[in-house]
Structure 1
Amino acid sequence: MQINLDTPDLMTRVRLESRWRSAGAVVTSSQTPEAPDLVVVDLGSRGVEAVSSWRERYPDATILAFGPHVEGAMLKAARQAGADEVVVRGKLADRVASKLGC
């Protein structure tokens, strides 16, 4: 699976990339990846607008947005902007891992 992780947070990126790569995924953080299967968007850093932008560029990709649990309105807005799934930050690693079969 080709995953593009859109977050500027280095600690988040390193932790998630390591886990997903060990499960067999190819993980990038490019703003112009080659046809990702899954785009993971950090709403806390990128905002809801990023979801719309990714959806426009990659209409066939699955978009999973994540953010702080206290930002319920932002999470709801992300789904309205085109995210296929929206999760709180603490559930993100496990949600993607389940998609990878681990």
Structure 2
Amino acid sequence: MHIHLDTPDLMTRVRLESRWRSAGATVTSGDGAERPDLVVVDLATRDVDTVANWRERCPDASILAFGPHVEGAMLKAARQAGADAVVVRGKVADRVSQRIDEAMS
């Protein structure tokens, strides 16, 4: 499974990339030529338009957006912008790890 993590936050990126790579995924965060299976967007550092841009760029990829639990309106707007799923920040690592496990089975 190829995951593209869209966040400029270094601490978030290192923590999530490490966990997902150890689960067997390929994780990128720059502009790569390979099309991802899953795009993960950090709404704490990106706006909802980023979700719409990814949807247009990678129409076949799943998009998961995550953000602070207190930003319910932003999470809802991300879903309306094209995210297949939205989760709170504390659940993103587990949710994606679960998807990796399912893809590897």
CA distance in structure 2 between the partners assigned to 1:32 and 1:57 by the alignment = 12
Q: Identity across aligned pairs (percent)?
A: 75
SS in structure 2 of the partner of residue 66 of structure 1: strand
1:1-102 aligned at under 5 Å gives the runs 1-101=1-101
Name structure 1 gaps, 5 residues minimum: none
SS in structure 1 of the partner of residue 36 of structure 2: coil
Q: What amino acid is the match of 2:79?
A: R
Deviation at 1:31, TM superposition (A): 3.3
Deviations 1:76-99 (A, max 9, x none): 000000000000000000000001
Runs of 4+ in structure 1 deviating by more than 6 angstroms, as ranges, are none
Name structure 2 gaps, 5 residues minimum: none
Deviations 1:48-91 (A, max 9, x none): 01000000000000000000000000000000000000000000
Counterpart contact for 1:66–1:75, Cα < 8 Å: yes
Cα RMSD (Å): 1.1
TM-score (norm 1): 0.96
